[in-house]
Chains A and B, each alone.
Chain A
């Protein structure tokens, strides 16, 4: 251990703390950067306004669900209901926004549903001490069932102006993502937000230190639900309508993105920027493989290799 007296002024603590957290994900950042460059070379249109807009739009929902999963995993939880929750969010958006309460009413319904589902799940997992993986598996059937009740088949509608705003040739998705990341940083700068880490890694110690462990975990589930239905709203806007099974694939993808980004399963390990980078890699991979002209078989093989490689290579450098 280096026993270096701290010469830095005490005022600047926040930024050094942030910088130290990058250490674990640096190599992933490099991989992502390499893919970004490859994408830019293969498709120069990426740097045009519309190319950039479309690219961020296809990444955006995955980024949201990766965050939704990561925040749970940071507290030592997990959700297999993310996909179903995305579907429910999409369905609610597509059935309410064209109705009497309009876009604002619809957005409120989507947000409240997400918060409510998340809080309920969190309550069951945290207060009743049931294993999150099965609770959320059961939850995925219940939530998915609710989506089917609301919209038994794809349909509904999102006002065109909203679709154009969120998923037209505008950088709205990117701006939204920046705002959400800022909000996350803000949340992490609150006592409740930061206690996510303590509550995830060392709940007993955190409790003894006076951290409201249960509240922090339930809040994480609620935020996760909000992010998931939010992703659903965006997907609905992006597609102009609702589909009760549109979110299915997001469950596993969100876990893959989070783990790829260095989020551990035991709680308290990893950072949100890592999870975001993980989701970006998953999204980039699809487009890059297209432009490289991979056949489906090659796509499957390459996808597996990239995922393993991104996780294994940093491990090797540690040894």
Chain B
């Protein structure tokens, strides 16, 4: 199999941004009928490498080869002609265009110079069917939830009938059902002889799906080998270069009688008449299929969208916070899922991003102390292992590091309740471990953590309780003893209505 010329390969490519080397002499070869994993910590250069492979960026040195032949000036158009398709993370979609128009973007079927809508509909429908996307094709993508958009992005790649399919963290915003659809699909495509490059921070997926792995560390290739005979621990060792500890911190029961937040008949957005108690000292998981109203639950509690309630007590004060500043004053903090759109100011320095909650609550005209800001920033960066100059704009950080910044900015304020919306999306294992540890420590200090997550294993291993949301209601609240992936999934699917009390 290795004797066949790779469909797509990089030979010793290098890339630097503004003089900072991001990739140094990296090689990778994608063979037909193989799912190739690309692993590495946040910022290791994975996305950059696929941007080189797909012509979105041009290498400073080295070569991109298609079918064994070097392509001197790779462009997205050339890549498309060569049958290379990339699934970017919800990046390439246009909200105001319909699903079909997005799926076909850049490769519309034409008739007399016009887009052939009939043909487009047929082909887009086929691509969408592959990923289980059954919304009407005329739906504007802006109306879709994040996970569904991700499916559109995948459909868009499939629409091009690729020979080489590159997926950059395709599952990070998918629910387990959607993930299952995707993995089955990739299995099938592999069987059809397609070369697949798969980037993910979810190692169990990698183990289940991939045959070969390339590991990047600080822009160099540290491993390029078959996955046969490697287990998850081995993978992590490959990535971080040492023996990994347990991903999840040891769970310890914490007895607390105080409730941090208590609401009755709470409605906000999609959520309807929910009763919920969040105890101080616990990590409360929120699970369910994507888009059932979980996000509205957090946003409503946070005062970011209008909510109604029969009664509410938040950190001892009755009534919902009427607005984000009030919620912050009550000790609530929220970390959004879509860090680029909701969590960060990409064009502003990392430091400024970290200080923003402070700016929001300090007296408006009190003079700032640059020195204190720098020190706070430094200690936060150290705490969360964010490397490099804090004066760089946040957009220069890799996705995972951006997530850390979005979390870090709340730390100086000692929030009593942390509302987290999928905080480990796109975060590498090491960082995940750090975040998990942080959350448990946080809870152990008597504070409350509400963790909305699309990663079921996270819910199972980290949380004290998990509330499962379906169609705007909490359909089950699973106590620790009853927590299992199966229990969460079945509650989410509504297979059986259960109310398990510990």
Chain B stretch 103-119: residues in CB contact (< 8 A) with chain A: 105-108, 110, 113-115, 117-118
Complex alpha-carbon distance, A2 and B148, angstroms: 11
Instruction: Find out whether the CB atom of B136 lies under 8 angstroms from the CB atom of A6.
Output: yes
Instruction: Find out whether the CB atom of B148 lies under 8 angstroms from the CB atom of A1.
Output: yes
- How many A-B contacts at CB < 8 Å in the complex? 123
B315 at the interface (CB under 8 A from A): no
Q: A21-B96, A210-B77, A319-B306 are in contact. List 20 more A-B contacts (CB 8 A).
A: A1-B143, A6-B134, A10-B137, A13-B118, A13-B120, A13-B121, A13-B137, A16-B136, A17-B100, A20-B138, A190-B113, A191-B110, A194-B115, A195-B105, A197-B97, A198-B105, A205-B92, A208-B86, A209-B105, A268-B96
Neighbouring B residues of A19 by C-beta, 8 Å:
138
List the 8 closest pairs (A to B, CB-CB), nearest first: A205-B92, A210-B106, A16-B138, A209-B106, A13-B121, A10-B121, A14-B117, A198-B94
Instruction: Find out whether the CB atom of B108 lies under 8 angstroms from the CB atom of A207.
Output: no
A303 at the interface (CB under 8 A from B): no
B63 at the interface (CB under 8 A from A): no
0/1 per residue, A11-35, Cβ < 8 Å to B? 1111011011100000000000000
Contacting residue for B88 out of A20, A201, A205, CB 8 A? A205
Complex alpha-carbon distance, A188 and B145, angstroms: 27
Complex alpha-carbon distance, A211 and B143, angstroms: 23
B54 at the interface (CB under 8 A from A): yes
- Cβ distance B497 to chain A, nearest Cβ, rounded Å: 20
Neighbouring A residues of B201 by C-beta, 8 Å:
none
On A, residues with C-beta under 8 Å from B are: 1-6, 8, 10-14, 16-17, 19-21, 186, 189-191, 194-195, 197-198, 201-202, 204-211, 268-270, 319
Instruction: Find out whether the CB atom of A202 lies under 8 angstroms from the CB atom of B118.
Output: no
Neighbouring B residues of A206 by C-beta, 8 Å:
92, 94, 105-106
Instruction: Find out whether the CB atom of A197 lies under 8 angstroms from the CB atom of B118.
Output: no
Instruction: Across the interface, name the chain B residue whose C-beta is closest to A188.
Output: B115
Neighbouring A residues of B121 by C-beta, 8 Å:
10-13
Complex alpha-carbon distance, A179 and B156, angstroms: 34
Complex alpha-carbon distance, A20 and B102, angstroms: 15
Neighbouring A residues of B115 by C-beta, 8 Å:
189-191, 194
Instruction: Find out whether the CB atom of A208 lies under 8 angstroms from the CB atom of B92.
Output: yes
On B, residues with C-beta under 8 Å from A are: 54, 56, 76-77, 79-80, 86, 88, 91-98, 100-101, 105-108, 110, 113-115, 117-118, 120-122, 125, 134-140, 143-145, 148, 156, 291, 306
- Cβ distance B93 to chain A, nearest Cβ, rounded Å: 6
- Cβ distance A314 to chain B, nearest Cβ, rounded Å: 16
Instruction: Across the interface, name the chain A residue whose C-beta is closest to B148.
Output: A1
Neighbouring A residues of B56 by C-beta, 8 Å:
207-208
Contacting residue for A11 out of B113, B118, B139, B145, CB 8 A? B118
Q: Could you show 8 A-B contacts with beta carbons less than 8 Å apart?
A: A1-B145, A21-B140, A189-B114, A194-B108, A194-B115, A208-B88, A210-B106, A268-B95
Instruction: Find out whether the CB atom of A269 lies under 8 angstroms from the CB atom of B96.
Output: yes
Complex alpha-carbon distance, A201 and B341, angstroms: 13
Complex alpha-carbon distance, A3 and B137, angstroms: 12
Neighbouring B residues of A319 by C-beta, 8 Å:
306
Instruction: Across the interface, name the chain A residue whose C-beta is closest to B138.
Output: A16
Neighbouring A residues of B92 by C-beta, 8 Å:
202, 204-206, 208-209
Neighbouring B residues of A20 by C-beta, 8 Å:
98, 138-140
Instruction: Across the interface, name the chain B residue whose C-beta is closest to A187.
Output: B114
- Cβ distance B166 to chain A, nearest Cβ, rounded Å: 11
Instruction: Find out whether the CB atom of A205 lies under 8 angstroms from the CB atom of B93.
Output: yes
Instruction: Find out whether the CB atom of A204 lies under 8 angstroms from the CB atom of B100.
Output: no
Using known A-B contacts A189-B114, A205-B88, A206-B106, determine if residue A197 contacts B135 with beta carbons closer than 8 Å.
no
Contacting residue for A209 out of B113, B118, B135, B156, CB 8 A? B156
Instruction: Find out whether the CB atom of B105 lies under 8 angstroms from the CB atom of A211.
Output: yes
Instruction: Across the interface, name the chain B residue whose C-beta is closest to A192.
Output: B113
Instruction: Find out whether the CB atom of B113 lies under 8 angstroms from the CB atom of A201.
Output: no
Instruction: Find out whether the CB atom of A1 lies under 8 angstroms from the CB atom of B105.
Output: no
Neighbouring B residues of A8 by C-beta, 8 Å:
136
Complex alpha-carbon distance, A1 and B156, angstroms: 20
- Cβ distance B194 to chain A, nearest Cβ, rounded Å: 19
- Cβ distance A12 to chain B, nearest Cβ, rounded Å: 8
